[in-house]
Amino acid sequence: MGNEQIKPSIAHSTEWTFIREIKSHPLFGHIKVYKGPSDQLQCLKTVIVEESQYKDQMDSLKKIIVKDVLTQNQPSCSSLVCVNRLETQKQEEFCSNYVKIYLTADYSDQPIQQIKDVKLFMLDIIQALQVMDQKGVNNCQFCPAKILQFGDRVKVVNTQLFTEISDYEQLYFNEVSKDDWMIAPEVMHSLKVNCPPSFNSELAVIFNFGIMMINLLTGIHPKDAQIYDYKNLTINDNLSSYLHSIDQLQIPCHIKQLIQDCVNVKSTLRPTFKLITNLLRQVEIPLQVSQIKNEDVPTNQIFNPCYEDVKKVLSESHVNKNLNFHNESPQKIEKQDFMTDTQQSAQFRKSKQIYNLENTYNSRASIQQKQHTSNKVKTQVKVSKVKSPNKKPKPIRANGNHPK
């Protein structure tokens, strides 16, 4: 009947204990759950393919696995459920050759709990969605069910990796109930005309992300808000009132506006993954700058950034650590504390000069003072030459000999 099955590492490990088998998990499919020595959970997913399809299947898996399990590198996104081990085993049955692919991944049976830090939660989710989108994963029906709780943090499950079917395929084959829809209008249009996905995947997921955030923050599901016309596959006018349902929440206004911008009916007016990430990371910088300006400290001891300085900091993908706005009582600032990225460039290092607003201002003032003093002296000399009563100009005689 075939070769004797060799169990994967986690199955015959003395540190891991088998807990249960789930044949149809909504996120992972058919899996077996194991518990580790520190009560952490992992699941074992088995994929069986013919030997002739083994190479293509492995290439497909490696494309959407964030963590390179073959070299044990760290994952590029900590908010994604990662595959910790990838094992294969050849097997022969009924004169046919098969290959079993074992995927061991992090697992949690805890659904998402109450959001404590909205900004941190949004950052975790949007970074996971961005990484999956770069891997070609279709998440146009992203929903809270795909988010699992791991202690104080949350992780997103890449369902396409475990179920081998994308969100759009599930929508296309009616495997997702319309009552659970959180999809963008352009996705509905593709379903309406019965065609493959022709929409921008990133912008469609951004709409999906905004709808999900409103659902989690208000507890109102899109179905209850009646924002979808399931018969004509269009968006109802109730979407506007659904967006403003977060106006009364005790969250920062800029986060409210960001969520509402994500749920724009026009896809081209929605923010991108990168813009959302930058805004969430840098959202407190203008406030901190204003706090410094209002403190009762001598002007010559405060760094007063100009518009270009603030614009540069806000446009960066990370907060410049050289600009420390978290001091409760700013002290006198040294030159090296204000070395920006531009000043640390190759050209700046070559010139070995440090841009100092105070010195620049003083040098300009001293130059102007010297020029003013010089002009004043010249004016006094001219006046003394003309108006001096003691010296009379000598008469000029015709044909006189004049000294050269």
Q: How many CB atoms lie within 10 A of CB 269?
A: 9
For the chain, helix (H) and strand (E) counts, in that order, are 14, 9
The per-residue pLDDT for range 197-238, each reduced to its tens digit, is 889 999 999 999 999 999 999 999 999 999 999 888 889 988
Question: For 103, phi and psi rounded to 5 degrees?
Answer: -115, 120
pLDDT tens digits, residue range 310-366? 445 445 544 444 434 344 444 444 444 444 444 444 444 444 444 444 444 444 455
**Residue 230: per-residue pLDDT:** 87
Calpha distance 261→210 (Å, rounded): 8
Distance separating alpha carbons of residues 312 and 323, to the nearest angstrom: 12
Q: Are 59 and 119 in contact (CB under 8 A)?
A: no
Alpha carbon distance 56, 4 (integer Å): 26
The structure's pTM equals: 0.65
User: Does the pLDDT at position 248 exceed 80?
Assistant: yes
Q: Residue range 97-121: average pLDDT? A: 89
Strand partners, 96: 93
One-letter amino acid identity for 6? Answer: I
| pLDDT at residue 57 tops 90 | no
